[in-house]
Structure 1
Amino acid sequence: MLRSSFTVLFICFSLFTTLVNAQVNAIQNIQGRKIQSLNGKWNYIVDPYENGYYDYRHEPFDQSKSGTGGYFDDRVQKDKTELIEYNFDLSPQMNVPGDWNSQSAQLSLYEGNVWLRRKFDARPEKGKKYYVYFAAVNYEANVYLNGKKIGTHKGGFTPFQFDVTSRLKTGENTLILKVDNTRKPDEIPTVNTDWWNYGGITRDVYLAEFPDHFISDYKLQLVKGNNNLLSFSMKLADATAGQDITLSIPELKLEKKYKTDAEGKINDEFTWNNLALWSPESPKLYGVNIKSDKEDINDKIGFRTIQVKGDSILLNGKNTFLRGVSIHDENPLLAGRLRSEGDMRMMLQWAKDMNCNYVRLAHYPHNEEMIRLADEMGLMVWAEVPVYWTISWTNPSTYANAKQQLTDLIVRDKNRASVVIWSIGNETPLSDARLSFMKNLAETARTLDDSRLVAAALEVHRDGNTMILNDPLGEVIDLVSFNEYAGWYWGGTPAELVKYSFDIKYNKPVVISEFGGDALGGFHGDENTRWSEEYQEALYKNQFSMLSKISALRGVTPWILADFRSPRRQHPVYQNFWNRKGLISETGKKKKAFFVVKDFYDQMQTKYK
């Protein structure tokens, strides 16, 4: 029986690996390539029974002998006797990027399948390669071009792409996706979350053109702990040796010439002594150019080091305190994901208004543009994958999914100076299976990128008035980072918080990754009145008094910058499908606790100058 179960698990893992490998490896810096936007109005068909995917025997149309019969055929009636039970041309449209929940009142709480179609013109050239690139689709996407399946992808927040060179036509092309945002117990994240499950093509879509032997990936960063030793790596999309590559930073008069090895790769370390280092106070970015005989790629990259030493966090070798706040990828003022640079800049500027030097982008990878803005605006970033709460720890395909999402996040953002922490999960319960799962993710993160810190949002356990942190994962990660909600979910009133103390097992920097409480913006009472701004204000004042007892405290990210939507939050007066823990209300008004946090950060900035 045990052998049979293992065989089934191995088959599941193999199937998932095959699924993931159907797409090419991630492509670095898609914005720096020759791209054609496929954003805009897409026709959509809501398909809760998946009529467009399965026949009446529940067999997939795209796996039938004919490979036809599904909505991906995009058929139109040619004869009045012909029976066709769908029509994209007559169906409504939605904006892409965008989610269906915020664009149709009928679909506000919808979880299920929606078909989306976009027609576009292309002029493919011989000798070129073409990829359809999606910055994010939530959650599972079956992708078809001109009636033929080109691939499947799982994961709602990381980019993916498929080679369409052989299927792209000169003239009009039809791109169709079946998107399914149904929550499932073996997926990442799992069925139980505390944010809105926005379905759809939520980020940019491009048709990208490349030469043969193109540069698929590169990294240029300082080696951890060394402020003038640069590490450069690069690889071609295929294993082609002898390709001439030039790396240059014109402002530094830096130019290095290389030839690719037998695997189409370059790996080098070299010293450069006059670098201006990136920091929140001086977010210096350099123009970087990587050139081959067929490509000329430009990027903006900052250089800094981040490491821990004892109970200190060192940015560029200097002791620092992470003055942070958590942020969801959602606009509180306008339902849906952050849609534009303006939306993202607004959220990050709100954090800077509170004197933050750091943000936790929870609980999943945010838009790449958000990370680039953090580079520009001078905000360090905690970047996270949605290994959230209770995952199927023993399912190999679930682990493979989590590993792939972490890999895609790191590949996408490893050149961003702002990213200082890779987070492998949030509030995961203790067990041997979970520890093995998380340790393997931590090892993956370090293998892919050893220049940053690895963390996770752990949980504390209470014994009387003592909060205990003894999670064995703390041995593996670089920070003692944990969530605690004293004064809201437990611990009495805000005034009672001062009686609590901490017992922390590990001699590492302590970062409180979440704390806080709800307040309905504009609702007032005394400091013991739940949901009032005064209660939240008192909670924060007493939290900072309590947390200041931790001698190794080196950062905090209160939960959360702004109120956000969540189906879990159902009180008809105070919540109404909103999590009200924001320091800013859904109208953009700063609550009283916002200013408590700012005062504390002003003190920390002075202390750590």
Structure 2
Amino acid sequence: MSKKYCWILLVTVLAISNSTHAQQNLIQNIQSRKILSLNGKWNYIVDPYENGYYDYRHEPFDQSASKTGGFYDDRQQKEKSELIEYDFDHSPTINVPGDWNSQAEKLEFYEGTVWLRRQFNASPVDGNRYYIYFGAANYEAHVYLNGKKLGVHKGGFTPLQYEVTGKLKVGVNSVVVKVDNTRRQDEIPTINTDWWNYGGLTRDVFLAELPKQFIADYQVQLAKGNTQRIEGFVQLSDSVAGRKVNISIPELKWNLEVTTDQFGRAPIGSKISKLSLWSPESPKLYTVTVSSNEEKIQDKIGFRTIETSGNNILLNGKSVFLRGISLHDENPLLAGRLRSEGDMRMMLQWAKDMNCNYVRLAHYPHNEEMVSLADEMGLLVWAEVPVYWTISWTNPGTYKNAEQQLTDLIVRDKNRASVIVWSIGNETPLSEPRHVFMGKLAEHARLLDQTRLIAAALEVHREGKTIILNDPLGEKIDLVSFNEYAGWYWGGTPKEITAYQFNIKYNKPVVITEFGGDALGGFHADEDTRWSEEYQEALYKNQIILLSKIDALRGMTPWILTDFRSPRRQHPIYQNFWNRKGLISETGKKKKAYYVLQDYYKQMEAKYKQVK
């Protein structure tokens, strides 16, 4: 049994086990099962002193002998003399999925605890299993069902789920979630960021019904560098040997039957022919069926290979230039996270309209539906975890949190053809503790998935007119990927930055993960005037000249597609709590620099069509 197989098996078995206060394994493609949506209006109580969680001596109610007394009990007054100092029924409501900052004016800048409650009817069937699922809760979530604690989850952008088999009532049930979006130094991300800290249940919530023994996880992908062999695994929910599982692609008349081992797991390995490979030009998706005696589930999966060779990035064996742009999970036209397929499709279509074949989903895991849409629409994806800026590098708990978020991201999206890069962080300053932390993350990502590229958005430093990239992490990742802001934060005006040269230590493909500058949409002046569209336009023109000096340049994701909200950006005229580096304004208007990048990408598309 290979080291990789043993490790993935250990991760799966440990995660599937039912733990009261820890994240459970993410069930693959749980949306395809029988589900009851819990989206809609949720009652909420703002609790800055956390009165609903701690008693007057600051002891948690849910750790007391009676485990009662907190808001999670969702108590109803039965006697007129009974003292209850909260009332969900008469509290205001907000929409879920959604954040509280954009839905309640008085909570725009609020960071702290909010309790959310939803009542729903259930009719649990004996012999079936039930899971409550949250697409994301920012940041720390304590989840309760009918007054009983299901668990605690940290991480604002990856799913959380808990088994509630045997805990559901026939009839009305109450789910209460304590969500706290307070920023803290030892968390992931840390206290200092450059985006809006939207708190709440920002993605779908539902109750899933599954058979007693179900298909918990699977991976069906092409083997690394081999377009004629499918590899992966199937994992059942229980450690049961000798169970048959069938994997098929009906369109290709391809079938494979596997038998589980004593851990309920079976490896997949089989030749395949007549496969149409997924690419941005032809985003072919196949219906893949995974079935056992207990259930049959379907997924839409594309097949492609991604690897590097020297200075080239090879997609399906052919050199590709990544014509990209960075995105935040935010709608510039409507405050808050992207809430619907329409929001997500709009953002990705704006990227395609600019002639992109690639997007960087920064700086944290975006909605899994966003990645599925990228599969459908033909956009390659850089997927990232929020190891951002100055993390607590020596804190074991901080590393464990980062590793768990990375694991959840890879487990969730490993069957999506669009995802070609797992990014382990952004702009992390050099130090020995950081090298150890980031090196371990790179090794962990590679252990979980050897079929994709591992990268990080690195920093550069300067000596005179030389831009230097010699980060030791470059040894452990597949791309020389870095941010540089010549013409905005350093280097003078846009017309002066072309005097710089690059000194890059590594002989690997270079992908520029960020460059750019702010422009207030509609503000026009000459190209030397900060904040004007002309300044940003000149910056992009000269950045393209500067970056074209790099022989190994194989892609870029300038910062950023649209303006986005950030409490860090406080200039009352030009920013007003917006980061204005977007190529599209908050009103949806394209700035002048948009057309510079669009034209450059047309040229690069034509150039790479000639590459054999």
Change (3 A) 1:22 1:166: farther
Tell me the secondary structure at the aligned position of residue 48 of structure 1. coil
1:102 CA displacement: 0.3
1:80 corresponds to which letter in structure 2? Answer: K
Please name the residue that 1:479 is paired with.
479
Please name the residue that 1:11 is paired with.
none
CA distance in 2, matches of 1:238, 1:435: 38
1:63 corresponds to which letter in structure 2? Answer: Q
CA distance in 2, matches of 1:83, 1:212: 42
CA distance in 2, matches of 1:132, 1:599: 47
Please name the residue that 1:202 is paired with.
202
1:20 CA displacement: 9.2
Please name the residue that 1:33 is paired with.
33
CA distance in 1, matches of 2:214, 2:74: 33
Residues 101 and 198, structure 1, Cα contact 8 Å, conserved in 2: yes
Change (3 A) 1:603 1:21: farther
Tell me the secondary structure at the aligned position of residue 219 of structure 2. strand
CA distance in 2, matches of 1:159, 1:363: 16
1:397 corresponds to which letter in structure 2? Answer: G
TM-score w.r.t. the length of structure 1 is 0.96
Residues 23 and 163, structure 1, Cα contact 8 Å, conserved in 2: no
2:376 corresponds to which letter in structure 1? Answer: E
Residue 502 (str. 1) matches residue 499 (str. 2): no
Q: Deviations over 1:28-74 (max 9, x none)?
A: 01111111111110000000000000000000000111110000111
The 5-angstrom pairing of residues 266-285 of structure 1 reads 266-285=266-285
Tell me the secondary structure at the aligned position of residue 325 of structure 1. strand
1:313 corresponds to which letter in structure 2? Answer: I
Please name the residue that 2:389 is paired with.
389
CA distance in 2, matches of 1:543, 1:144: 52
Residues 20 and 153, structure 1, Cα contact 8 Å, conserved in 2: no
1:374 corresponds to which letter in structure 2? Answer: A
2:58 corresponds to which letter in structure 1? Answer: H
1:335 CA displacement: 0.1
2:580 corresponds to which letter in structure 1? Answer: R
2:396 corresponds to which letter in structure 1? Answer: P
1:146 corresponds to which letter in structure 2? Answer: N
CA distance in 2, matches of 1:229, 1:19: 37
1:18 CA displacement: 11
CA distance in 1, matches of 2:238, 2:528: 64
CA distance in 1, matches of 2:367, 2:122: 27
Residues 21 and 150, structure 2, Cα contact 8 Å, conserved in 1: no
Please name the residue that 1:430 is paired with.
430
Please name the residue that 2:184 is paired with.
184
CA distance in 1, matches of 2:422, 2:172: 42
Provide the alpha-carbon RMSD of the alignment.
1.1
Residues 19 and 153, structure 1, Cα contact 8 Å, conserved in 2: no
Residue 242 (str. 1) matches residue 242 (str. 2): yes
1:211 CA displacement: 1.1
CA distance in 2, matches of 1:484, 1:21: 42
Please name the residue that 1:5 is paired with.
none
Please name the residue that 1:256 is paired with.
256
Tell me the secondary structure at the aligned position of residue 55 of structure 1. coil
1:357 CA displacement: 0.2
Tell me the secondary structure at the aligned position of residue 535 of structure 2. helix
Q: Deviations over 1:382-436 (max 9, x none)?
A: 0000000000000011000000000000000000000000000000011111111
CA distance in 1, matches of 2:589, 2:23: 44
Please name the residue that 1:307 is paired with.
307
2:295 corresponds to which letter in structure 1? Answer: E
1:22 CA displacement: 2.5
Residues 19 and 152, structure 1, Cα contact 8 Å, conserved in 2: no
Q: Deviations over 1:94-117 (max 9, x none)?
A: 000000000000000000000000
Q: Deviations over 1:338-385 (max 9, x none)?
A: 010000000000000000000000000000000000000000000000
Please name the residue that 2:295 is paired with.
295
| Percentage of matched positions with identical amino acids | 73
Residues 20 and 150, structure 2, Cα contact 8 Å, conserved in 1: no
1:179 corresponds to which letter in structure 2? Answer: V
CA distance in 1, matches of 2:270, 2:383: 28
Once the two structures are overlaid, the 10-residue window that deviates more, 566-575 or 124-133, is: 124-133
Please name the residue that 1:339 is paired with.
339
Tell me the secondary structure at the aligned position of residue 324 of structure 1. strand
1:117 corresponds to which letter in structure 2? Answer: R
Residue 105 (str. 1) matches residue 105 (str. 2): yes
CA distance in 1, matches of 2:25, 2:78: 41
CA distance in 2, matches of 1:196, 1:63: 33
Residues 230 and 272, structure 1, Cα contact 8 Å, conserved in 2: yes
CA distance in 2, matches of 1:343, 1:24: 29
Residue 322 (str. 1) matches residue 322 (str. 2): yes
Structure 1 segments of 4+ aligned residues over 4 angstroms from their partners:
17-21
CA distance in 1, matches of 2:344, 2:369: 8
Structure 1 residue runs of 5 or longer lacking an equivalent are 1-16
Tell me the secondary structure at the aligned position of residue 587 of structure 2. coil
1:19 CA displacement: 8.0
2:127 corresponds to which letter in structure 1? Answer: G
TM-score w.r.t. the length of structure 2 is 0.96
Residues 47 and 112, structure 2, Cα contact 8 Å, conserved in 1: yes
Q: How many residues align?
A: 593
Residues 20 and 149, structure 2, Cα contact 8 Å, conserved in 1: no
1:232 CA displacement: 2.6
CA distance in 2, matches of 1:554, 1:527: 28
Change (3 A) 1:566 1:230: same
Please name the residue that 2:608 is paired with.
608
Structure 2 residue runs of 5 or longer lacking an equivalent are 1-16
The 5-angstrom pairing of residues 395-544 of structure 1 reads 395-544=395-544
Residues 244 and 260, structure 1, Cα contact 8 Å, conserved in 2: yes
CA distance in 2, matches of 1:256, 1:292: 12
1:223 CA displacement: 1.1
